[in-house]
Chains A and B, each alone.
Chain A
Amino acid sequence: MRMRERRREPAIYAKRGDSVSIEFCGLTLAHPIINGSGTFDAIAAQRVFGAQLHERFPFAAYVSKTITLEPRAGNPPPRLWETPAGLINSIGLPNKGLERYLAEDLPALAELPVPLITNVMGASAEELSILLDACDARAEIAAIELNVSCPNVKTGLDIGADPVQLEEVMRAVRPCTGKPLIVKLTPNTADVGACALGAERGGADALSLINTLRATALAPRARRAPVGDSAPRDAAAAWLGGGTGGLSGPAIRAVALAQVAAVATRVTIPVIGMGGVQSVSHAQDLLDLGATLVAVGTESFRDPAAAARIAEGLHEMATRRG
């Protein structure tokens, strides 16, 4: 493994020759705004918005939704709950599975005007190795993001929730690919900084955070099933088909700021910051805390062009700075 300096490269989004751009893990990106995995379906959006989507593509790199080895239907509805300034989703990572993703989606995603980052999730190092090997073989994929918010089949613990376990898994799967490997950290852990360090030691090229915060919602009182002797209490009141979900949106922005700060001061590899970003100033906050890139997620639900607006704002600032 190559030696790394214990000093963060400052993230510079500035003029290079005639244009502004940013370097990220060997990729040259037009600006620092990407999407959070699972928050923008570029293939569906192309059907809805047509050619305009490519003309003003909002993201400097496109992150796919999470791909698993086998197809997943996702959780039964209801899958959504609106909270004060936020959203709980319990989607359950529906996807076609690795084989059909590569065969059916990859050709369309390769047509996007930006580099493709494929997000994968597996329940063991073995499963992750298969996913990484397959992605490594495809030139259309510029980088790979690991969703480690998945219970390890062996320990039952989320792979990314424990620094030692995360480092072990990373060491096991790192040799599978020479492509940039991004670890999407879970915020549902005692010490996100320690997990970040574990991922870096295990060979991660970059880190992204924060994923959604584990959350739940109760059904409106009128719709709850009566609590009988045989019915478990939580089932009587649960709203989401999946039981629990993940909270996102402005409600978690303050948590994102704290976690990105905690991670950026512990590691030397680049950090992708996200969580509740709605504006240029929110994105700038994460960049100021040491993030190299910023991902927009839930705000794209409110406006599919939100990330384009934020990227354009940052571009204007970078151009003015010169």
Chain B
Amino acid sequence: MSEAPFGRRLLEVTGNDELGAYRVLRVLDPQMCGPRGATPEPGQFAMIAAAEHWGGGEQQRPYLPRAFSIARLAGEECHFLLEDVGPGTRRLCELRAGDRLWVLGPLGRGFQLGGREPDQRRALLVGGGVGIAPLAILQDTLDRDTTVLLGFRDRARAAGAALLRDAHVASDDGSVGHHGLVTELLAAELERDPHAVVYACGPAAMLEGVRAICEQRATPAQLALEAGMACGFGACFGCVVARRDGGYLRVCVDGPVVDAAELEHVDAHAGAPA
């Protein structure tokens, strides 16, 4: 994994663009992006917090920084995909160009590319909701054809599919693409051509569906997990999920991307502080 600079750094927001129900928050981060940057691997994340008015929101929150997948690198800009679901994400959604953001990262283990799948299986990228974020930088990085399957609740959220190229979309309400679950698209894809490796990120129920389908077909799968976390660098031990072989793994340092075989099942996650 790429090493993170020690300590959080204060960065300038360069934009915060609407993307359907989501926003794409852009910050100038030469320490992480661009030719002299740490070049995060796809699936790594950062802990971010607004420099001003972080706190004093609903129930006097937020207090802790929030964990976000790195969605894309563009020049010296780093992009995060936001959805307003609580006092922290709401504050981040309010940020405008010129505002400042605390960033710690890149953190965690990203998707493990190459080496593990020497037989050049095709890459299936499976995402749900705001969890599609790390699949964008993954698609940018992969030097082979990818098949992208994305699921969303409704039309406004399905607009997020524009973050990736050539996405096949499913929607819960049938307003866009396949009327149903993205895991149904995955099952059909694997039926058609099982020689694939799956990279997935999304809500726990979706990841559990992906895990079960891939286990049944012995398809290698890597899952980017989400969990409530306070620190992002292994200090708080708050973000654990149960391992298949007993005990817990820390999503922040042992993940967020884990081999699906490491998990017995993906629990309805405890819910990150939003």
CA A89 to CA B64, docked complex, whole Å: 13
Bound Cα distance from A249 to B8, whole angstroms: 18
Residues of B within 8 A of A91 (CB): 236-238
Shortest distance from the beta carbon of A135 to any chain B beta carbon, whole Å: 22
Is A39 an interface residue when CB atoms closer than 8 A count as contact?
yes
A301 touches B236 (CB 8 A): yes
**Size class of the contact patch on chain A:** 35 or more
Residue of A nearest to B231 (CB): A301
Cβ of B230 within 8 Å of any chain A Cβ, yes or no, is: yes
A177 on the B face (CB < 8 A): no
**Who on chain A is nearest to B59 by CB?**
A84
Q: Is B271 in the interface zone, CB < 8 Å from A?
A: yes
Given contacts A47-B234, A300-B231, A301-B64, contact A74 B240 (CB under 8 A): yes
Interface size on B, residues (CB 8 A): 43
Could you mark each residue 60-100 of chain A with 1 if its beta carbon is under 8 Å from any beta carbon of chain B, else 0?
Answer: 00000000000001101111111111110101001000000
Closest chain B CB from A95 CB (angstroms): 10
Instruction: Tell me, rounded to whole Å, the shortest Cβ–Cβ distance linking A316 to chain B.
Output: 17
Are A308 and B7 interface neighbours, CB within 8 A?
yes
Bound CA–CA A303/B64 (angstroms): 10
Contact A41:B234 (CB < 8 A) given known A78-B271, A80-B228: yes
* CA A38 to CA B236, docked complex, whole Å: 7
Query: Which B residues are in CB contact (< 8 Å) with A298?
Result: 230
Q: Is A224 an interface residue (CB 8 A)?
A: no
Q: Is A45 close to B, CB under 8 A? A: yes
From B3, B49, B60, B229, A48 is in contact (CB under 8 Å) with B3
Residue pair A300, B63 in contact (C-beta under 8 Å): no
Q: Does B61 contact A (CB under 8 A)?
A: yes
* Interface residues as binary, B34-66 with A (CB distance below 8 Å gives 1, 0 otherwise): 000000000000000100000100011111110
- Residues of the A chain whose Cβ atoms lie less than 8 Å from the Cβ of B4: 48-49
Complex CA gap A82/B253 in Å reads: 21
Tell yes or no: A59 within 8 A of B by CB.
no
Which chain B residues border A50 with CB–CB below 8 Å? 3
Q: How far is the CA of A49 from the CA of B228 in the complex (A)?
A: 21
The reply to whether A77 and B241 contact each other, CB–CB distance below 8 Å, is yes
A61 to chain B, nearest CB (A): 17
* Interchain CB contact (< 8 A) of A79 among B1, B3, B59, B238: B238
The answer to whether residues A78 and B234 also contact, given A249-B63, A303-B8 and a CB cut-off of 8 A, is: no
Contact status B271-A302, CB under 8 Å: no
B231 and A77 within 8 A (CB): no
Q: Tell yes or no: A53 within 8 A of B by CB.
A: yes
- A77-B270, A87-B230 as given contacts; A304 in contact with B235, CB under 8 Å: yes
A262 to B139, CA, bound (A): 59
- Chain A residues, CB < 8 A from B1: 47
A-B contact count (CB 8 A): 130
Contacts A56-B6, A86-B63 given; does A303 touch B104 at CB 8 Å:
yes
Q: Which residues of chain A in 108-149 are interfacial with respect to chain B, using CB atoms and an 8 Å cutoff? A: none
Distance (Å) between the CB of B101 and the closest chain A CB?
13
User: B5: which A residues are within 8 A, CB to CB?
Assistant: 49, 52
CB of B262 to closest CB in A, whole Å: 16
Is B27 engaged at the interface, CB distance under 8 Å to the other chain?
A: no
Question: Smallest Cβ distance from B259 to chain A, in angstroms?
Answer: 18
Residue B233 at the chain A interface, CB threshold 8 Å: yes
Residues of B within 8 Å of A301, CB to CB, are: 64, 230-231, 235-236
Give the chain B neighbours of A94 by CB distance below 8 A. Answer: 237, 240, 248
Tell me if B248 and A39 are in contact (CB < 8 A). no
Report yes or no: A49 in contact with B233, Cβ–Cβ below 8 A. yes
Whole-angstrom CA separation of A171 from B49 in the bound complex: 48
Instruction: Given the known inter-chain contacts A74-B248, A77-B270, please indicate yes or no for A303 contacting B235, CB distance below 8 A.
Output: no
Q: Is A40 an interface residue (CB 8 A)?
A: yes
Q: Which of B7, B63, B228, B237 contacts A83 (CB 8 A)?
A: B63
Contact A302 B49 (CB under 8 A): yes
Any A CB within 8 A of the CB of B107: yes
A3 within 8 A of B: no
Complex CA distance for A50 and B5, rounded to whole angstroms: 9
* A305 contacts the other chain (CB 8 A): yes
Q: Does B227 contact A (CB under 8 A)?
A: yes
Interchain CB contact under 8 A, B102 and A303 = yes
For chain B residues 204-260, which have a beta carbon within 8 Å of chain A? 227-231, 233-242, 246-248, 250, 253
Taking A56-B6, A94-B248, A304-B6 as contacts, is the C-beta distance between A84 and B235 under 8 angstroms? no
The 7 closest A-B pairs by CB, nearest first: A44-B234, A305-B7, A84-B60, A78-B270, A80-B238, A301-B231, A52-B6
**Could you list 22 A-B pairs, sorted by A, with CB under 8 Å?**
A41-B237, A45-B234, A47-B1, A48-B234, A56-B6, A73-B246, A76-B242, A77-B267, A79-B240, A80-B238, A80-B239, A82-B64, A85-B55, A85-B60, A89-B230, A298-B230, A301-B64, A301-B236, A302-B49, A303-B7, A304-B6, A304-B235
* Residues of A near any B CB (own CB < 8 A): 38-41, 44-45, 47-50, 52-53, 55-56, 73-74, 76-87, 89, 91, 94, 220, 223, 249-250, 298, 300-305, 308-309
